[in-house]
Structures are given as C-alpha cells and as structure tokens.
Amino acid sequence: MGILSLILGRAGPSGFGSASTAEQVSASIDASNLTIIITGGASGIGLETSRVLAERGAHVIIAARNMEAANEAKQLILNHNQNAKIDVLQLDLSSLKSVKAFADSFKALNLPLNILINNAGVMFCPFQLSQDGIEMQFATNHLGHFYLTNLLLDKMKETAAATGIEGRIVNLSSVAHLYTYEQGIRFDQINDKDSYSDKKAYGQSKLANILHANELTRRLKEQGANITVNSVHPGLIMTDLMRHSFQLMRLLKLFTYLLWKNVQQGAATTCYVAVHPKLKGVSGKYFVDCNEYPASKFATDPELAKNLWEYSNNLVNSLQNS
C-alpha cells in the first residue's frame, strides 16, 4: 500500500483500503457473541470503534480516564442504537494502580473477554512523569497497556478455551514507530529529561506497541493459546490526541490533506483486524489501511522485543513493590 494507493483509496489484497470505513469492513459480521474492551473508547477513533462494534452486536466495555466523557459516549451510542450493549469503566493507563483497579472491576462483572483493543494514548506531550514516575508517553502508550494485557490474559485464555472462539488483541501503533531514538528503545534513558524529544518519545512508545504484540504472539504460540495479537496504524486523523501539537498538525494537514482520513476511515483498520474472519489465525503482523504492511527493522527485531518484555515486566514489578 504505497502513497498513490493511500491518496486514491485503492483497495489492497484484503479488498479494503484507505478510503474504507469501519462500517464497511465490518458490514457482514455478527459480533453478538463477543465481549470487547476498548481503551480510550470514549472519543476519536476509539468512540467510532465502540459505536460500530456495538452496532454489530458486540458487548462493548469502554475503558476511559474521563468518566463524564465515557458516559456521554455511551449515551451517544444508545441514542443511535437502543439495543447496544455498552458498559463504561474507569481506566487511567498512566497509573498502574488504576490499571489494576480496572482489571479487578472488569473481572467482577463475570463476563467473558474475546477481544482487547489497546487504543488509548497520548501524543507529543511535553516532558512529564506519570504517577509512577515514568515518562508519560511510554507509561501511557506502552507500559499501561502491557500491564493491562497481562492482567486480562488469563480471562481471554479461559474465554477462548470455553467458547472455541479465537481471542484477539489489537495494539494501536503508528507509522510514527519509524521515527524513534537511535537505539530504538532507550532502556537506560526512558526518563532522561535533557535528551527528551516529544516526537521521538512518541515514536518509541509506538515502536513498543508493535514489539509488545510480536513478543506476546511468540509466547502465546508456545503456550498453544487460541489468541492472536496484531498491531495497526490507523492513519492520519485530526483528533484530540493531537492537542499538544494542534497548530503544527493543522499546518501539516494543509500541505498533505490528501493523506488524511476522517474518523470513520481511521477506525476501519482496527475493526478489520479485531473482527474480520479473514484474519483468523493471523498473528504478529502490522496492518495499514486494512492490509498487512512491513514494519521497521527495529519493530521486527525479536531480540529487541524480548528485551522490551523483560524490561517492562521488571519495571511493573518494581513499581508495584515500591
């Protein structure tokens, strides 16, 4: 899928392309037997993903930091579809305590879990530390989702084994994973304020999303678990995610307007990878415009993926014990 295909909206091997919408890629799919968690499901492409998958019959759990926005999103979906199955639970991915509380609250609902969509994130924010003392973009975009996924993995395995339905995990990454620090992941300088770059730190966190998906794929295959894990680039979409660089993005969009998507198109790749039957058994891949696409050299480095897993696991354990 090259630049020309992106501009023209030309469909790729999947039958879909950059112009496809979330409704189009899921048009014939019955998701009424699925329970889906969507982080950041109250706004932007997360909200569109929640709306469309609820429209397909799925029981959608919107995980959001802002509960007022989450309840408004729930009501918006119900206004269009009174039969929608929507619940909201609070989740602040920059806080491991909040991630644990969310997982406990979800498990208390006694629901199955078929699909986890790790959608939420922050972008290009000035240097700041999370509640746990970790650089905010790495903490929110990667570490929070890493911990959340681990906490919910047993529930997903149980659901897949009991129902025979393949579980799926979708990590929202970005083409920005190509623009990271020289060493890919700066394990020894995650919190280094002096050399911090908001753009490279974002790219680092999005690279981490792909590496996480790839290493988890390897581990689940070894265990024989009926769960796939893939990562996606949703495309260039003007959403609240860009609030820290809104003027820059408006200027960029002025000169590259043909490359930008609307929210309906931006949610398409997530929905395609999450529920389309063509993706059965496909794991450890990176998708752009609803088609498999080669990721960067760093993103396909199995040793870097293993190192990131060990680093993240050790970091979570040390923060919990501190």
135: left (phi over 0), alpha (psi -120 to 50) or beta: beta
| Strand segments (E) across the chain | 35-39, 59-64, 85-90, 115-118, 167-172, 227-233, 286-288, 291-292
Please check whether residue 59 is in contact with residue 33, taking contact to mean a CB–CB distance below 8 angstroms: no
Is 196 labeled as catalytic in the residue annotation?
A: yes
AA letter at 209: N
Tokens standing for residue 48: 């569109």
Identify the sign of the CA torsion 312, 313, 314, 317: positive
15 vs 28: CA distance, rounded Å:
14
Q: Which of 147, 179, 181, 196 is catalytic?
A: 196
Only one residue has tokens 């996480």, namely: 212
SS3 assignment, position 62: strand
266 vs 278: CA distance, rounded Å:
20
Pairing of strands 286-288, 291-292: antiparallel
117 vs 18: CA distance, rounded Å:
20
Active-site annotation, residues: 196
